[in-house]
Structure 1
């Protein structure tokens, strides 16, 4: 079974202390460094094992042109000026970006599959199992895990490389994702693929 790793939204705006989006890591959150460290271990281990790695980022056109603001999450992004293409906030967090040759998918909604080329990239890899990790657990991670399960992928989640702005939302998302696949740690999931 071909396993691919999806690294979701490891971007400055959601991971860096100066980022403007607090849905993934709360301001002053004590666990920020642990999530960044676990994400780094996930990427490094995927590379050592030659697992296909897909970096998924969210970014919007300059001035947020054409962004549908039907939901508070999108209205807030536009109002804050966050995640504009080419900005510091939309860039990958230091040490968590792609290396040459690794796939990068950009999307503009909550679900990473929606209106992006993620499905085509995964088909090109021949992926059957997905290890997901990223921020926020209760947003892009959960929505994308649900969509992946509906598409027929075996879903696994590296919980320690995920975060939500509030611990209870992180845990609720983990409980929901456990209905769709395996919820474990970076170490345990990567040992399965060793």
Structure 2
């Protein structure tokens, strides 16, 4: 098995915490929130145990949103609700899923929907010699699917652990997994730990 790189998307307070401002990834289903956080935690712990690099991707904007191009409804809404302002609690990683300082974890901040666009993510993957990626996060139908499509177009083999992803609308989550199933391996955290990607 190629040593994969885990790309963990938007495990941030405004996205996952019950008091967070963004609701496209999680609704008020506390049981679903706890399942997602538990699965994402297992993924990160397993990556650390296996010495797999982790790229933690966060979305964050300046407090006046001068760096936000609001050309899509989802981006217009970020500004409207005052979400993920750099330096705020909402833009920070959820405590349970935050990066650790071990020399094998990296943080990338992005401003668009695709985690690669306008960031140094591809340069990091080149430095790490990556060929296989595990991509998970919130929300499935936006940042996850957009990032998976870009990664596949760049030539990476991609696995998506569905239980470490979420959308507030379960039908959007499932539809996105169905779409990505044409280009990536849809799996679970447990299955990833038991087999190669």
Q: Which TM-score band applies after superposition, normalised by the shorter structure?
A: over 0.9
> What is the CA–CA distance in structure 2 between the aligned matches of 1:78 and 1:52, rounded to whole Å?
32
The reply on whether 1:166 has 2:169 as its aligned counterpart is: yes
**Structure 2 partner of 1:129:** 132
What's the CA shift for 1:69?
Answer: 1.1
What's the CA shift for 1:29?
Answer: 4.6
What's the CA shift for 1:193?
Answer: 4.8
**Structure 2 partner of 1:144:** 147
**Structure 1 partner of 2:76:** 75
What's the CA shift for 1:153?
Answer: 0.2
Contact 2:67 2:111 in 1 (8 A): no
**Where does the alignment leave 5 or more consecutive residues of structure 1 unmatched?**
none
**Where does the alignment leave 5 or more consecutive residues of structure 2 unmatched?**
none
> What is the CA–CA distance in structure 2 between the aligned matches of 1:193 and 1:46, rounded to whole Å?
13
Q: Deviations over 1:121-170 (max 9, x none)?
A: 11111110000110000010000000000000001001001000100000
Distance 1:180 1:157, change over 3 A: same
Instruction: For 1:24-103, list aligned pairs within 5 A.
Output: 24-100=25-101, 101=103, 102-103=105-106
Correspondent of 1:179 among 171, 182, 186: 182
Q: TM-score, normalised by structure 1?
A: 0.97
Displaced runs of 4 or more, over 4 A: none
Give the paired residue count.
194
> What is the CA–CA distance in structure 2 between the aligned matches of 1:161 and 1:2, rounded to whole Å?
19
Contact 1:111 1:140 in 2 (8 A): yes
Aligned-residue RMSD, C-alpha: 1.2
